[in-house]
Amino acid sequence: MKVCVDTTVLIDILKDEFPDYQEKLYSAIKKGEDLVAPAIVYAELMPQFKGDINLLNSFLKDHKISIEPLDIDSVKEAGNRWMRYLKRKTKIRCPQCGHTLNTKEHLLSDFYIGGYALTRCDAIITRDRGIYRKYFPELKGYEG
């Protein structure tokens, strides 16, 4: 099974947080699943390694995760769902000054990861299922 690994789970491992999600990844490794992540995950992880790509590459290799480029199908899927998100995003105005306030915002990178997982993988390992459940409902979470 080809399984996309989201950045959140890898950061959980580095910070030793959310053991249930870490266990899903380790279970997938033990089962020999084909673990992959789009290149955007690589970029999101770089600050955790202070830009040391040798350490980052070693971490990914130790966890049997391959990095793959985003393809046009993944990007189109991400773009379509990003546009849907932008249309749904609530605009709130300050009752005193009338200034538009931002509500909780998702990042485009979340949509790239979702588009990649949906078009290239069988499931995703992530702690952040809210965005994927709402904007990628057909995407399956990896249960191990």
- Tally Cβ neighbours within 10 Å of residue 13: 18
Q: Kindly state the tokens that stand for 91.
A: 């605009």
pLDDT at 91 over 80: no
pLDDT of res. 102: 62
* Cα(65)–Cα(30) distance, integer angstroms: 13
Residue with tokens 């490794």: 29
Q: Kindly state the tokens that stand for 116.
A: 């990649």
pLDDT at 76 over 80: yes
Q: Which residues contact 129 (CB under 8 A, 6 or more apart)?
A: 141
Instruction: Give pLDDT tens digits for 9-47.
Output: 999 999 999 999 999 999 999 999 999 999 999 999 999
Q: What is the H or E stretch that residue 135 is in? A: helix 129-135
The helix/strand count (H/E) of the chain reads as 7, 6
Where exactly are the structural domains of the chain? 2-135
Q: Which residues share a beta bridge with 38?
A: 68
What CATH number matches the domain at 2-135, 3.40.50.1010, 1.10.10.10, 3.90.190.20, 3.60.15.10? Answer: 3.40.50.1010
Instruction: Give pLDDT tens digits for 96-135.
Output: 787 766 655 668 999 999 999 999 999 999 997 788 999 9
Contact criterion met (CB below 8 Å) for 41 and 60: no
pLDDT of res. 111: 95
pLDDT of res. 81: 93
* Cα(123)–Cα(109) distance, integer angstroms: 18
pLDDT of res. 128: 79
Alpha-carbon dihedral 129, 70, 17, 140, rounded to 10 degrees: 30
pTM: predicted TM-score of the whole model, two decimal places: 0.86
